[in-house]
Structure 1
Amino acid sequence: MTGPERPPLTWLYAPGDRPEVVAKALRAGADVVIVDLEDAVAPDRKRYALDATAELLADRTPVPVHVRVNAVAGPLARREVARLAGLPGLAGLRLPKVTGAAALATVADWAGATGPVPPLWPLLESALGLEAAFAIASGHPAVAGLALGEADLRAELGVRDEAGLAWARGRAVVAARAAGLDPPAQSVYPDVRDLAGLADSCRVGRSLGLCGRAAIHPRQLAVIEEAFTPTADEVAAAGEILAAAAAEAGAAALPDGRFVDPAVVAGARRTLALAARHP
C-alpha cells in the first residue's frame, strides 16, 4: 500500500478550468484530487485550465493533487508537463491513452527539463494499452501506479455491462502487482445519483483485487470508502495471521487450517493498513 498511515481509497476528479470546483474538491474529504485537463475541459478552455492549475500548484495543497494531462501523442501534453513538473503542489501526473512504455520515457524527458520526474500514473484505455499493461507498469522508475479508463475500453471492446470488464480489470491488477505497484483503483462510476449501484460495483471491483476508486462527485466518496474498508471480520483474520507469523520462524498454519506464508502475511498487513484509516 502507498504509505502505512493512510493508504488512498478515494480519488476525486475536478475540471481544471473551474477553480471554484477544484477548491471544493480539495475540501471534500478525498484522499487525492485529480485536476483534469483532458476530457472535462473544452478545447477553447485548455489554456485557461492549464494556467489555473499551475497557479493552484504553485504552493502545496491540503491534499495530494494529481493532474490528468492531455494525451501524450497529442499537441498539448508537452506544454502541460513542462509547465507543471516541479511545482510544489504536484503529487503526480496521470497520463491518458497510454499504449506502450515509450510514452513514459517521452513524458519523463519533458518533465526532467525542469527537475525530478514526478510520479506517473498511466491510464489503460484501449485494447492495445491493456495488452501492454505489464510493459507500461514496469516501463519507467517514475511509474507509481496504473489506472483503467473504462469508458473508452467499453466503447472499443463493445462491452455492454460490468461483467464484461472483469478480464480487463484483472489484467490491470496482475500487471501492477507483477511490477511491484499497489493494486489499481477502480475507474469512475458515471451515475452520481445511483449510490446503491456504485456500492454494488465497488464490491465487484474489490473482489477482483482493485483497491479504492475514482469519483466524479463528492457524494460518491463515502460509499467508496465504506466499500473498500476492511470489515471487522477481515481485520480480525488479518490479526490472527500476523500473530501466527510472529510466533513461527517460517510458514505456519492457523488452528482452522489456513496456511500462513509471506505472501499471506503481506496481504494481512495491507488489510490492517486500510483498517487503520478508521481508528
Structure 2
Amino acid sequence: MQHHPQRSLLFVPGTHTHRITKALDSDADTVIVDLEDAVAPADKATAREALAHFLATSPEVSLIVRVNAATHDDTDHFQRDLTLCTDYPAVMGIMLPKAESAEQVTLAARSGKPVWPLIETARGITALAEIAATPGVARLVLGALDMTTDLNMEPGSAGAESVLDHCRHQLLLHSRAQALPPPIESVVPEIQDLSAVSQTAKKAMEMGFAGMLCIHPRQVAAIHAAFTPDDAALEWAQRVVALAAKQGGAFQLNGKMIDAPVIARAETLIARAAAGR
C-alpha cells in the first residue's frame, strides 16, 4: 500500500477560506486550516463559521484543522473547534497546538479524528513520553517559534538552535519508541529566503524527520526537493535491493559492506521516492 507523502504541510488562515482551494490546488501534500494563531480572538467565531460553510460545500476535499489550544483561556474555542471537525468527514486530522498532556490529546481524539500534537513548550517536551503513547496520535510536530519564546531564547541564534535540536531529538526518539511515523519539522518564517527553507528541510531530512510545515506555497518546492531522494540516491538504492535479491546475506558495493540495515535503508529510500513522485 502506498502512503500519501507528508513532506509539505501548508498553513492557511481560517479567516481566508478563499485561499483553501488555492492551497489544495498547490503542490503541497497536505493543507492545514489554522483556527489558532492566524486568527485574532475577535474573529475566531467568524472563522469557524466560514470553515464550516466551506466544508459543507466542498465535501470532496481533505485537510487538517489546527484547532485552538486545550488550555484554560481557549477551552470554549477548543470545544467548538472539535465539534466542527467531528461534523465533517473532509477533516482528516486535528493539529493540537501547545500539546502538554495525554489528557489534552485524549480530549481531541474524542472527535474520532487522528491527532497531530504540536509540541511547542517545555511542558510539551517533558510530557512527550505520555503524549506519544496516547491512543489517537498520528504524528508529532515541532513548533519551534513558540518553543523559542517559551524558553526565552534568542530567535535564530546558535544557542537557540542547539536547544531546538535537543527538542528535535526527543520528538524523533519518542516517535520511534511508540512506532509512530517520523515527526514533522517546524515552519521557517522567511517567505522570500528559500535558502533558509532548503537548509532547514535538508537538516530535518538528515535527522530523520518526514516533512515540514510551511506558510506559503512558494516554500513547497524547496521542501519537496529536500525530502525526495535525488536520482543518484534512488539509483544506489535500486542497485542495493537488486543485488540483495540475487545474492542474499551481506555483500559489497562500491567498496562498502551492504547488510540488513543498509538494505532496509535502501528500501525506505525507494518507498519515499515512489510516494513523492
State TM-score, norm by structure 1: 0.88
The alignment status of 1:60 with 2:54, answered yes or no, reads no
Q: What is the CA–CA distance in structure 2 between the aligned matches of 1:122 and 1:88, rounded to whole Å? A: 20
In structure 2, distance between residues paired with 1:5 and 1:139: 22
**Paired residues of 1:147 and 1:185 also in contact (CA < 8 A):** yes
Contact kept? 1:166, 1:208, Cα under 8 Å:
no
Pick aligned residue for 1:131 from 108, 126, 129: 126
Partner of 2:139: 145
- Contact residue 241 and residue 254 of structure 1 kept, 8 A: no
| Alignment length (residue pairs) | 267
Q: Distance in 2 between matches of 1:244 and 1:130?
A: 42
Residues 148-183 of structure 1: per-residue CA shift (max 9 Å, x gap): 111111112233333442111121111112211111
User: Relative to total residues, which structure has the larger helix share, 1 or 2?
Assistant: 2
Q: Tell me the distance in 1 between the aligned counterparts of 2:246 and 2:145.
A: 48
Question: For residue 275 of structure 1, what is the aligned residue in structure 2?
Answer: 273
Which residues in structure 2 correspond to 1:155-174 (within 5 Å)? 155-160=149-154, 161=157, 162-174=161-173
Per the alignment, residue 78 of structure 1 pairs with: 79
Report runs of 4+ in structure 1 exceeding 4 Å deviation. none
Query: How far is the alpha carbon of 1:237 from its aligned partner?
Result: 2.6
Offset, 1:247: 3.9
2:94–2:108 CA contact under 8 A, matched in 1: no
Between the aligned residues of both structures, percent identity stands at 35
The residue number in structure 2 matching 1:187 is 186
Counterpart-to-counterpart distance in 1, 2:97 and 2:146: 10
- C-alpha change, 1:240 and 1:72, in structure 2 (3 Å) is same
SS of match in other structure, 2:256 = coil
Range moving further from structure 2, 233-242 or 165-174:
233-242
- What is the aligned partner in structure 1 of residue 109 from structure 2? 108
Please report the TM-score for the alignment, with normalisation by the length of structure 2.
0.89
Residue 202 of structure 1 aligns to which amino acid in structure 2?
Answer: A
Equivalent pair of 1:119/1:144 in contact (CA under 8 Å): yes
| More displaced 10-residue stretch of structure 1: 165-174 or 155-164 | 155-164
Greater shift after overlay, 208-217 or 53-62?
53-62
Root-mean-square deviation over aligned CA pairs: 2.0
Q: Structure 1 CA distance, aligned partners of 2:3 and 2:108?
A: 30
Please tell me the residue identity of whatever aligns with 1:126: T
The residue type equivalent to 1:118 in the other structure is: K
